[in-house]
Structure 1
Amino acid sequence: MPSTPLSILDLCPVPAGGTVTDALRNTVDLARRAEQSGYHRYWLAEHHLAAGVASSAPAVLIGQVAAATSVLRVGSGAVQVGHRTALSVVEEFGTLATLYPGRIDLGLGRSGQRRVEAARESAALAPPPVAGRVVDGLLIPPPFSYASVLAAPRFALTTALLHQPGAQPPPFGEQVADVLALLGGDYRDADGLDAHAVPGEGTDLQVWLLGSSGGESARLAGALGLPFAANYHVSPSAILDAVAAYRAAFQPSATLAEPYVVVSADVVVAETDGAARRLAAPYGPWVRSIRSGEGAIPFPSPEQAAALPWTDDDRALVADRVDTQFVGSPGTVVELLRTLRDVTAADELLVTTITHAHGDRVSSYELLAKEWND
């Protein structure tokens, strides 16, 4: 049986004491090294107004990474189509696919739509608590409530800056249909008028849908016969629901004859378990900065993290993310990743690693690839 492919999701983290320039250059360097280590694809996330994350323009970064590598597939994880038009996305990524044929992935996410829906949901009564559980060795923690994030003033500011005044995101399914029609050359509006994306139409872009639950993204990816990426690292409580919903809805297509699932995981690898735990120690305070509604802070060093205040409430705020981060020696982490793969029946794993020092992040990916492929 061939080894399950490993891929990378990069948020382009800004280290505390470093600069955005450092973060961008580190991303290009990491991509080169990832290709040398045998990683299959390299995806760039999309985040906005966060001092600690520089991946606000994934299409631009994808072009830089593709230019610096030769065979690595490069893509978005994911474009937030809720504040974009289908045409702008197809033209951007069509340009990349024309320059780098056979290498570009277009991952689409519902973040823009979810901002509007979640704001409404936050006013509703909270659902009853759900207990965590362990399924065949994989921790499925209780779900996290985003009510505190949605109530933060920065959430409203981000939404306002990402949308034109008065604009409402169209339904996700409609946007995905428009993307596929523009790529396929068969777009027609309600009056039958055609439109052709140049560049974009006829390119070999590989379209993915990404999702953090068993909701619309998973079901739509299945119904359209598209590959699906499920986010254990973002929403570990819903991972089994997400992959089950996708497979239940799957219909064979010209793209796929069978379902294809990528599952993500947060990972830190070092030579020993203890060394890895030290490198991963700032992860909790970093996630706290996101979930407090203020946005990701520059990633602290272990020494800086140890000096930050930390309460039981802080621990509870980030418990699901910290408890499902895979941290340890190469052997320790590989066993955890194999469990994730087996429980979810993942066809591919998408690893995201953040450490303060760039060298530690590079080493984590290299150690993992070597152990995984041995």
Structure 2
Amino acid sequence: MRYSLLDLSPVPEGFTAADALRNTGDLAQHAERLGYHRYWMAEHHNMPGIASAATAVLIGHVAGLTKTMRVGAGGIMLPNHAPLAVAEAFGTLATLYPGRIDLGLGRAPGGDQAVMQALGVHHARAENFHNEVAELRELFGPENPDRRVRALPGEGTGVPLWILGSSLHGAQVAAMLGLPYAFASHFAPAALEQAFEVYRRYFKPSESLDKPHAMMAVNIFAADTEAEARRLRTTMQLGFYRLRTGRPGKLPAPVDDLSAVVPQAALPAVNEALRITAVGAPPQVEAQLRALIETHRPDEVIFTGQIHDHAARKRSFEIAAQVMQRINSEAVAA
């Protein structure tokens, strides 16, 4: 089973966006050495703790620092962009780094109402999502001199498209268009089982894909001891609580006592939203990952994890890779 990595280029408290971007480059090279198949970045706007807003620019940077690993968007929020502009940007990336670029597409705005206004985006754009995805696939398709508007570069590159989702809508679009599907179970797991079931049941083979391919996102907080891993996890729990209560900021440092900074009544909702998580020392992470894989039967997993300390974050993804390598070696032997 392929394992991949989702990086939001987090900006930790006490650091800058420049630090975050340097960390992304370092983490990408580390991930490639560890056998990660894809390295994805996501479009978010007006977020002090996320430095991946100009996602295509950052993808080019990471692709230039790596050699073989696929690099892409997980994802581009399509309502924010004209399909032609996306096709030209990713067509250029695919021309520079052939066979290595992925394009995951979401229908959310990647920001609030003020962000949508600043981007000149209207809510109605999201309703046309499936048509714009189909248009993008055509723009990346075979050369067609008769096409009135062409993506140049872009045409003929066949950039692989993925549909992202946290609800059933994305599953339906991915199934209808015969595209691979990635579910945002790392922060919105409620519809995970139903979305995978809908996607697999209604999948229509296409030129892109002959059978369903579903990817599950998992938060990873792995360390050499369980206590350290659980402490690392408090960063994401606290950051998620602040985001949900309208106080987004830089990625907070971990705390010894989460209940001192997050009200006890709020913790169950935070933990439920982040329940697709493996946390602990390597044996515990392995047991939890095996259980998640057995339960949800993904075709691929993508790991993420908002950890304040860069070295600890690298170690966490290293443990996750080692666990997946053991799982995969057992599957081959069987």
Query: TM-score with structure 1 length normalisation?
Result: 0.82
Which residue in 2 is equivalent to 1:150?
A: none
Note if 1:203 corresponds to 2:157. yes
**Aligned CA distance change for structure 1 residues 275 and 102 (closer, same or farther; 3 Å):** same
Change in Cα spacing, 1:304 to 1:269, as seen in structure 2 (3 Å) is: closer
Deviations 1:34-88 (A, max 9, x none): 0000111000011111111111111011001100000000000010011111001
Which one-letter code corresponds to 1:196 in the other structure? R
RMSD over equivalenced CA pairs, Å: 2.1
> CA 1:309–1:102 in 2, change beyond 3 Å: closer, same or farther?
same
Hey, what does 1:333 align to over in structure 2?
285
Q: Aligned partners of 2:201, 2:208: CA distance in 1, in Å?
A: 17
The answer as to whether partners of 1:94 and 1:199 remain within 8 angstroms in 2 is: yes
* Aligned partners of 2:3 and 2:303 also within 8 Å: yes
Point out where structure 2 has 5 or more consecutive residues left out of the alignment: 327-334
Task: Supply the distance in 2 between the matched residues of 1:304 and 1:76 (Cα, whole angstroms).
Answer: 34
- Residue 78 of structure 1 aligns to a residue whose secondary structure is strand
- Counterpart position of 1:177: 134
**333-342 vs 63-72, which deviates more?**
333-342
Question: Structure 1: where are the runs of 5+ without partners?
Answer: 116-153
Give the match's secondary structure for 1:267: strand
Cα distance change, pair 186–101 in 1 and its aligned pair in 2 (3 A): closer
In the alignment, is the contact (CA less than 8 A) between 1:285 and 1:305 conserved in 2? no
Task: Give a deviation string over 1:289-322, Cα, whole Å, max 9, x none.
Answer: 2212333x21122248759632134324413134
- Tell me how many residue pairs correspond in the alignment: 325
**Distance (whole Å) between structure 2 residues aligned to residue 288 and residue 272 of structure 1:** 25
The secondary structure found in structure 2 opposite 1:75 is: strand
Question: In the alignment, is the contact (CA less than 8 A) between 2:219 and 2:274 conserved in 1?
Answer: no
What amino acid sits opposite 2:313 in the alignment?
R
Map of 2:54 onto structure 1: 57
Q: Secondary structure at the match of 1:194?
A: coil
Shift of 1:371: 2.6
Query: In structure 2, the residue corresponding to 1:7 is in which secondary structure?
Result: strand
Work out whether residues 214 and 244 of structure 1, in 8 Å CA contact, stay in contact via their aligned partners in 2.
no
State the partner residue of 2:305: 353
Does the CA contact (< 8 Å) of 2:171 and 2:199 recur in 1?
yes
8 Å Cα contact 1:44/1:77 also seen in 2: yes
1:369 aligns with 2:321: yes
Contact kept in structure 2, 1:185 and 1:196, CA below 8 Å = no
Aligned to 1:135: none
Q: Secondary structure at the match of 2:39?
A: strand
Quick one: which of 97, 108, 117 aligns to 2:105? 108
Letter in 2 for 1:367: I
**Closer, same or farther in 2 for the Cα pair 1:161/1:99, shift >3 Å?**
same
Tell me if structure 2 keeps the 8 A contact 1:186–1:194.
no
**1:200 and 1:60 mapped to 2: Cα distance?**
16
Counterpart-to-counterpart distance in 1, 2:112 and 2:255: 30
Q: Distance in 2 between matches of 1:157 and 1:370?
A: 43
TM-score, normalized by length of structure 2?
0.91
Structure 1 counterpart of 2:89, from 75, 92, 113: 92
- Aligned partner of residue 219 in structure 1, secondary structure: helix
What secondary structure is seen at the aligned counterpart in 2 of 1:312?
Answer: coil
SS in 2 for 1:262: strand
* 1:353 Cα deviation from its structure 2 partner: 1.5
| Percent identity (aligned) | 40
Partner of 1:160 in structure 2? 117
Q: In structure 2, what is the Cα distance between the partners aligned to 1:98 and 1:343?
A: 39
